[in-house]
Structure 1
Amino acid sequence: MQYPVTVVASRPLSKQEHTTYLTMSTSSCQGLIENALSLSSLAATTTRHCATTSRDATIHRGRDCVDPSLPALCAVTKIEATLPSIAAQYTLGTLSDKLAHNLTDDVAMVNQKLAKLGSHVLARQQLYCLGGTTTDMPYHYAGIVWYAHSSLPLCASRDFCVLEYHNQVEVMDWQSKRRRGWIRCLQSVDVIGCPSLRASRGHIRSSMFRSGQLFVETDCPGMLTVYSVAVHHYNGLLPPGGAAKLMRREVATILKLEKAMATQRVLQRLRTVEPKQLQTATFRATRVHCPQCHRSRSWFRHQRACAICGEAVCASCGREWSVPGVTPAAFVCLHCFCPKGMAPHLGVARIIFCSHFARRLGKNEQLREEHVQLDQLDAAVHGAELLGRPERNVETARVPHTQRLGRTVGTVVVALLRH
């Protein structure tokens, strides 16, 4: 089947239906926020890594806050962006234009499309527009949208008729601090104007509940915490574990968003660089050690100079970018591609592990100090016992610490009774 396809609603919505869908969208957003915060507090079941941005995402598995019979997944990660830039990335008009015209000439546009929708999204079409941006709500959108998703090999593709809602929100974090955020909520709805397409196109109609993305500001300016939630119910036949695999694929797509935004920034900066600078960037001065991976230069590990900052790094610490209209390919280091992505950001699982390790380390240090004190006390007591005795070799065979501990405590008790 050729994509994108065109799906047109058969009839307009009434005012009552319009109001009902808007009310449903706000309640679904509340459920998405509850799912994101409750699932992220659970222990991480797995992690996903993006090698391009050096970013990790922890995936948490749990149950839906409204319907506990539905399994839910949540991916938590960080992203270097602002709320307006995130809202612009998910603008409906931009996505519809890219999918409708099938723009494959510009690499940035293709990467952007795959990052925001996911490579598993086959088609997307707006059926009804319930509301757009206003002066009071510049990042608002509400509409009924049809999606087509690819499934597992040898399985039929799935389609969704969902209520998509974008808006700014305020989230109360675990520190009881209000933080600004932006939400993209997806909630399946039954629309008479969009019946099942299984007979005509082979799609199996599935459902998603209180799913989407939640972006929340952090204490670090320009850094957002991202929660990607998936509560899907796939109808039809799937192999064992197939639904969980599809949901993990859905939530892990959020890692590609920062990659797409970083690609946009790099290509915009490379368009301002002169072609002569791109050609001579490779012949700049080199370093003995790579400033990013700190590995030494050798015959088998050559270095290249970044076309943006001019720093000499290993060839594996960057990649080439083809700028439209510029003949030579430009080499860009990972630091210029995603500056804050190079610094390790601890996920929830890592924080839990580190805190647990710190507690164990603290207990070990405390036990070690107690052992040292007992050894000193043991030596002092035995030194007192040796006073007045004939001189002999004090170094004897080592005895287990438990025996020494019992002997020391017994000696101290006897000494106290004597006094």
Structure 2
Amino acid sequence: MKRQLPQLSELRPLMQFSRPRLDRRAARLEGAADIGDLRRIAKRRTPRPAFDYVDGAAGQELTAQRTREAFAATEMLPRILHGTAAADLSVQIAGSASAVPFGIAPTGFTRFMHAEGEDGGAAAAAQAGIPFTLSTMGTRSLEEVAQVSDAVGKEYRAPGTRWFQLYLWKERERSLELIQRAQAAGFSTLMVTVDTPVAGQRLRDVRNGMTIPPKLTARTVLDASYRPEWWFNFLTTDPLTFASLSGSATDLPSLINSMFDPTLSIQDLEWIRSVWPGKLFVKGVLTAEDARRSLDAGADGLVVSNHGGRQLDRAPVSLKALAEVRAEAGPDVEIILDSGITSGADIVAALALGADFTLIGRAYLYGLMAGGRAGVTRAIELLAEETRVAMMLMGAATVADLKRSGQVRAPWLEGGQDLTVRV
């Protein structure tokens, strides 16, 4: 093989060095290729108690692990020569349009993850045209989130759809007050979480001594030395409280066990139905029996969820429970799949296996911790693009095509045999 010195005229077109980016946050987020990359950025930039609160689960974290294994076990069939020029990701859910088939799940302690908290999540959701769900344990109030959502929605001419997740209090008048405030603030859907009669045993939080607000100890000060931006934001913004709960501040297990009602019954759900005029979804359904009881009590839709593995460890995997719940509910009841989604392929699998919509919790919080509102926007962009590519490779021009196509196989169906699922 004959060698020669390279010619400058040949090298010049290859030498395209980019200038250093002064906006390091933007550069980091732009370089993230998937949610896993955002998670790695988040872990570097967020104190351990906050990161572990998001990343961890209950007990030995078996449910969270098995949830991810279930998504990984699904198999998607490509359709070749199908002539799909584009994929329309838009759907209708709970009476509103969503630009993509996923929305932001309710999360507590959110401003503990990043100072922008619910402001960043609600703004990114409104900009993207997807629902944002505020938790009862949120660190911004119903009214504050409504203001952000409406302002950004108007700017981007997007609907700014917002839902409210309700935990039932022992004092019914406090629950009624929250319900009425949600209605007045323009929250269109009430999502009643029924899998939290007491707080799950989240051992990472116990080991980290996590509280709201965080305690300044020798360990946290040392942790801060590696993450000055987080601490600067925390110390120079308004105090961290559970804003919808009259500004209370304490650790999550104590608050849940002292204020929330472990005796929640189907009669309580019927009462909520009688005082809430909008769409009502029940979150935490994993069996056909509970699906039927919820629908009979007046629920409009169901959220199949194991709380991200954060409540009862060894609970059923949401994706595996989906078929049973869909069979009981029938084709006309709207079902949302929650827990464990970290990619567009996960979203496609859930839709093809019977869900009408999905929610992202950890995936959006990784983005928030990595870069505030811009990080949430990046998480939404990554998931939307992964969903679009998967749909096109499967020859599905719309989400409805995907649901009809029967192109996802799940090994746990029909006695453990691989089976193509048709919905």
Answer whether TM exceeds 0.5 for this pair: no
Name the TM-score, length of structure 2 as normaliser.
0.23
The structure with higher relative contact order (CA 8 Å, sep 6+) is 2
Name the TM-score, length of structure 1 as normaliser.
0.23
Q: Greater helix percent: which structure?
A: 2
